[in-house]
C-alpha cells in the first residue's frame, strides 16, 4: 500500500515539475500565469515531501514489502538511525535531494526580482527538479516492491550507525549543493532576460552565501565524522567523493569573492555555472559507481543518465553564457593594492586549486580507457600542488584588511603589525619545534591573517553605522575561521605521532608523553551486534587521565566489523586510540595510539567559518530581498551589475 502510494506520489511530482517548468517559461515569454506557476512549484515541493513522508513511514513501520526498507531497514535499528535510513542509500537519498531542491524552488518563487529574470531562473530550477523526479520515478524508485517479503532487514550500513552526524551531515551538504542551483539558474536566465538580466549577480549572491555556509558546515561536519568513526586518525584523505564536495566549495568561494568586483560578467557567469556543474559532476561520481570510495553509493544504473544531464547542463551553460546580458560600462581598473584586485586574485587562485583537485579526482576515469585500470594520484599530489596554493590564498586574505584605505603608503603601514606577527609566529614556532617548511609557512600565514582580522574587527566595532553591519562582521568571522582551520591542519599534520603494538594485559604503549596500559578485554553482545572492547589506563605527562575503551563491533546482519575509536579531546591536542585486533586465546590486543596536536582548532575554525558565512547570508538576504504578496507578480528590485562589499 505504502509502496503504491509512494510510486504514485513520484509520478505526480514528475507531472507537476514538467508542468511547472512550462508555466514559468510562459511567464517569461508572456508575463501571464504567475500565480499558477507558483502553485505548480508548491505542488512539486508537496509531492517530494509526500514521497519522503511515505518512505519514512514505511521505515518506521518496518514495511519490508518495500524494497528500500527490506534492504536498508531493520527491527533492531535504533529509532534515530531508522529515521536517518531515508538517506543512507541511493534511492532514498534522491528523495531528500528532491525535498531540499523543492524547498529552494518554493522560496525562490516567493521572492521579488525583475520579472523575466525571475521567471527564466524558476524555469531552470524546475527543469532540474524534473530531471531528478524522472530519475526517482523510473530508475531509482525506492518504493519498488520486494518479493518474497523478508521478516527483517539488515539495517543501514554499520558505519552510518556509529555517529549522530548522520542526521545532520547529508542534509547540510544537500542544502549547500542545491543552493548553488539558484545562482546557476540566474546565470542562465540573465542572457535570456535581456536588460532585466543585468543585475543577476546581486540577486544571486545571497543564495550563494546561504549555500556556501551550508556546504562549509557539511564539509566540516563530514571531516569530524570521518575522524571520529573510521578509526584511521585522519579527517581528510583526498578521497574522490570528499573532493567532489570540495570542488563546488572552491568555485563558490571564488564566485563570492569576484562578485565584489564590478564589470567582470564573464567571471561571474562562469563561476556560478561551474559551481553547480561541479555539484552535478559530484553527483555522478557518488551515485554511478565510477569511483571507489568509502563515501560513495554502490554501483547503480544512474551513471549514463547523470553523465548525460551533466553534459547537457555544460552545453546549456556554454551557449547561454556566451551571449551574456548587457552590462554597464566597466569602471576604471582598480589599483593593484585594493580589495577588488585582491578579491580577483584570490578568485583566480581558488579556481586554480579547483582545477588541480579536479584533475586528480577524475584522472582514473580519463586514463582508464588507455591503461585499462585507471591511473590515480595519492595525497602527496594534492599536498605538493593544492596546499601551497591554499597558503597563498591565506596570505592574500590577510592583506585585505590593510587596504581599506585608498592611500597606498597608509595601507603598507597598516600591514606592518600583521607582517610582524606573522614573522614572529614563524620565528617562535621554528625555534620551539621545527615543524617543516609547509607547516611553518601555514603557521606564519595564519598569524598574519588573524592579527590583521583582529585589527579590522576592532576598527569596525569602534565605529557606528555600516562598519558594524552583521554581514561584514560575518565575513571577518568566516576568514578568521579559515585561518584557525589552517593552524589545525598544519599542527595535526606536522606534529602527529602514532605507534601500533600488540599488548598483553599489563603492558604499555607510549607515544611522546602519552602512555596506555592494557588492563583487560571485554566481550559483549547479542543477536544484533557483538562488541569487543579493550580497557586502557591512560597517563599523560606522568599523570593519570580518564580511561579509554576502543572497540571492534561486529554486525551479523551485514557481516561487517567496524572500529570504534576512543578519543580524549584536549585543548592542545587529542589522544586517539584504535583497537586493531584481539587474540581470542591469549587475550592480547593490537592497539594503535596516536597523538594529534591542535586538531580541535580544525573543528572550531570550521564552525566559526560556517557561522560567519551564515551571519553574512542572513544579513545580506534581509537587506536585499523581500517576499512577494499572494497573487502578486514579482516586482523588480533595484539591482546593479556588481554587488556591494558585504563581507
Are 81 and 557 in contact by the 8 Å Cβ rule? The answer is: no
Domain extent listing, the chain: 499-597
1, 135, 196, 255, 316 from 320: Cα distances, Å: 45, 25, 15, 18, 6
pLDDT the model gives residue 631: 44
Higher-pLDDT residue of 53 and 298 is 53
DSSP H or E stretch at residue 555: strand 551-555
pLDDT the model gives residue 331: 56
Confidence of residue 438 (pLDDT cuts 50, 70, 90): confident
Are 153 and 70 in contact by the 8 Å Cβ rule? The answer is: yes
- Average pLDDT over the chain, rounded to an integer: 88
Task: Write phi, then psi, for 348 (nearest 5 degrees).
Answer: -65, -45
| Centroid of chain to Cα 174 | 8
Bridge partner residues of 535 (DSSP)? 520
For 563, the 3-state DSSP assignment is strand
For residue 626, pLDDT beyond 60: no
| Cα 202 to Cα 639: distance, rounded to the nearest angstrom | 6
pLDDT the model gives residue 630: 45
| Cα 394 to Cα 391: distance, rounded to the nearest angstrom | 5
**Cell 561571474 belongs to which residue?**
268
Are 173 and 100 in contact by the 8 Å Cβ rule? The answer is: no
For 550, the 3-state DSSP assignment is coil
**Cell 564552525 belongs to which residue?**
607
Higher-pLDDT residue of 98 and 439 is 98
Per-residue pLDDT reduced to its tens digit, 442-455: 999 999 999 999 98
Confidence of residue 632 (pLDDT cuts 50, 70, 90): very low
Per 3-state DSSP, the chain is made up of helix, strand and coil in percentages (nearest 5) of: 65, 10, 25
Which DSSP category does 161 fall into? G
- Alpha-helical runs (H) found in 193-239: 200-229
C-alpha closest to that of 508 among 520, 519, 500, 516:
516
Average pLDDT over residues 541-547: 93
For residue 326, pLDDT beyond 80: no
Bridge partner residues of 536 (DSSP)? 518, 548
Which DSSP category does 64 fall into? T
What is the distance between the terminal CA atoms of the chain, rounded to a whole angstrom? 52
Average pLDDT over residues 237-262: 92
Average pLDDT over residues 315-328: 75
pLDDT the model gives residue 642: 34
pLDDT the model gives residue 287: 81
**Beta carbons within 8 Å of 198's beta carbon, 6+ residues apart:** 190, 325, 326, 327, 328, 639, 641
Are 449 and 397 in contact by the 8 Å Cβ rule? The answer is: yes
Least confident of 163-172, 219-228, 580-589: 580-589
Bridge partner residues of 498 (DSSP)? 594
Are 240 and 283 in contact by the 8 Å Cβ rule? The answer is: no
C-alpha closest to that of 125 among 189, 214, 176, 209:
189
pLDDT the model gives residue 347: 93
Query: Whole-structure pTM over 0.85, yes or no?
Result: yes
Average pLDDT over residues 623-629: 51
* Per-residue cell: 554: 561486529
Are 307 and 284 in contact by the 8 Å Cβ rule? The answer is: yes
394-417 burial by CB neighbour count: b if 16+ within 10 A, else e?
Answer: bbbbbbbbbbeeeeeeebeebbee
Task: Write phi, then psi, for 567 (nearest 5 degrees).
Answer: -125, 130
- Rg of the chain over Cα atoms, rounded to whole angstroms, equals 26
Cis before 315? omega within 30: no
Bridge partner residues of 66 (DSSP)? 145
Higher-pLDDT residue of 339 and 336 is 339
Higher-pLDDT residue of 329 and 37 is 37
pLDDT the model gives residue 299: 59
Are 482 and 250 in contact by the 8 Å Cβ rule? The answer is: no
92, 245, 260, 298 from 135: Cα distances, Å: 12, 21, 38, 16
Task: Write phi, then psi, for 603 (nearest 5 degrees).
Answer: -70, -40
pLDDT the model gives residue 294: 55
Amino acid at each position: 500500500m505504502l509502496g503504491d502510494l509512494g510510486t504514485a506520489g513520484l509520478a505526480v511530482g514528475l507531472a507537476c515539475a514538467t508542468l511547472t517548468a512550462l508555466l514559468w517559461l510562459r511567464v517569461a515569454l508572456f508575463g501571464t500565469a504567475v500565480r499558477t506557476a507558483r502553485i505548480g512549484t508548491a505542488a512539486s515541493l508537496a509531492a517530494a515531501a509526500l514521497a519522503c513522508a511515505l518512505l519514512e513511514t514505511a521505515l518506521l513501520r518496518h514495511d519490508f514489502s518495500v524494497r528500500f526498507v527490506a534492504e536498508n531497514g531493520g527491527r533492531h535499528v535504533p529509532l534515530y538511525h531508522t529515521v536517518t535510513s531515508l538517506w543512507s542509500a541511493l534511492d532514498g537519498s534522491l528523495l531528500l535531494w528532491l525535498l531540499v531542491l523543492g524547498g529552494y524552488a518554493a522560496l525562490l518563487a516567493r521572492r521579488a526580482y525583475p520579472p523575466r529574470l525571475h521567471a527564466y531562473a524558476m524555469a531552470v530550477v524546475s527543469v532540474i527538479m524534473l530531471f531528478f523526479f524522472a530519475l526517482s520515478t523510473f530508475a531509482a524508485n525506492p518504493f519498488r516492491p520486494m518479493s518474497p517479503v523478508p521478516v527483517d532487514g539488515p539495517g543501514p550500513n554499520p558505519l552510518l550507525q556509529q555517529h549522530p552526524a548522520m542526521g545532520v551531515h547529508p542534509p547540510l551538504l544537500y542544502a549547500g549543493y542545491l543552493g548553488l542551483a539558484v545562482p546557476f539558474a540566474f546565470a542562465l536566465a540573465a542572457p535570456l532576460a535581456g536588460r532585466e538580466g543585468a543585475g543577476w549577480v546581486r540577486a544571486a549572491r545571497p543564495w550563494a552565501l546561504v549555500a556556501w555556509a551550508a556546504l562549509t558546515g557539511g564539509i566540516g561536519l563530514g571531516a569530524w565524522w570521518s575522524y571520529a568513526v573510521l578509526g584511521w586518525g585522519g579527517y581528510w584523505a583526498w578521497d574522490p567523493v570528499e573532493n567532489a564536495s570540495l570542488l563546488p566549495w572552491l568555485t563558490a568561494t571564488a564566485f563570492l569573492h569576484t562578485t565584489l568586483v564590478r564589470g567582470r560578467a564573464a567571471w561571474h557567469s562562469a563561476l556560478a555555472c561551474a559551481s553547480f556543474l561541479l555539484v552535478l559532476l559530484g553527483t555522478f561520481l557518488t551515485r554511478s559507481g565510477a569511483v571507489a570510495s568509502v563515501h560513495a553509493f554502490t554501483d547503480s544504473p544512474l551513471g549514463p543518465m547523470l553523465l548525460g544531464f551533466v553534459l547537457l547542463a555544460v552545453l546549456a551553460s556554454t551557449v547561454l553564457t556566451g551571449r551574456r546580458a548587457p552590462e554597464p560600462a566597466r569602471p576604471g581598473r582598480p589599483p593593484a593594492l585594493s580589495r577588488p584586485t585582491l578579491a580577483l586574485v584570490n578568485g583566480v587562485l581558488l579556481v586554480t586549486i579547483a582545477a588541480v583537485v579536479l584533475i586528480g579526482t577524475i584522472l582514473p576515469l580519463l586514463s582508464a580507457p588507455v591503461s585499462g585500470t585507471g591511473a590515480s594520484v595519492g595525497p602527496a599530489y594534492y599536498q605538493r600542488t593544492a596546499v601551497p596554493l591554499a597558503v597563498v590564498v591565506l596570505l592574500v586574505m590577510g592583506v585585505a584588511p590593510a587596504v581599506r584605505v585608498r592611500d597606498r603608503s597608509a595601507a603598507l603601514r597598516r600591514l606592518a603589525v600583521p607582517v610582524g606577527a606573522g614573522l614572529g609566529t614563524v620565528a617562535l614556532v621554528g625555534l620551539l619545534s621545527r615543524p617543516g617548511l609547509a607547516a611553518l609557512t601555514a603557521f606564519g600565514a595564519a598569524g598574519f591573517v588573524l592579527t590583521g582580522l583582529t585589527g579590522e574587527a576592532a576598527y569596525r566595532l569602534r565605529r557606528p553605522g555600516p562598519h558594524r553591519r552583521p554581514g561584514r562582521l560575518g565575513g571577518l568571522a568566516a576568514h578568521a575561521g579559515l585561518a584557525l582551520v589552517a593552524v589545525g591542519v598544519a599542527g595535526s599534520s606536522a606534529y602527529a605521532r602514532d605507534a601500533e603494538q600488540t599488548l598483553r594485559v599489563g603492558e604499555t604503549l607510549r607515544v611522546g608523553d602519552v602512555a596506555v596500559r592494557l588492563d583487560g578485554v571485554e566481550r559483549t553482545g547479542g543477536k544484533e551486534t557483538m562488541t569487543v572492547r579493550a580497557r586502557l589506563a591512560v597517563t599523560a605527562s606522568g599523570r593519570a587521565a580518564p580511561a579509554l575503551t576502543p572497540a571492534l563491533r561486529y554486525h551479523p546482519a551485514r557481516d561487517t566489523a567496524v572500529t570504534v575509536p576512543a578519543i580524549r579531546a584536549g585543548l592542545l591536542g587529542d589522544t586517539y586510540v584504535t583497537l586493531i585486533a584481539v587474540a581470542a586465546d591469549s587475550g592480547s590486543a593490537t592497539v594503535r595510539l596516536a597523538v594529534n596536536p591542535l586538531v580541535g582548532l580544525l573543528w572550531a575554525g570550521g564552525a566559526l567559518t560556517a557561522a560567519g558565512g551564515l551571519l553574512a547570508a542572513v544579513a545580506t538576504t534581509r537587506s536585499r530581498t523581500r517576499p512577494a504578496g499572494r497573487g502578486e507578480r514579482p516586482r523588480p528590485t533595484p539591482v546593479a551589475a556588481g554587488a556591494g562589499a558585504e563581507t
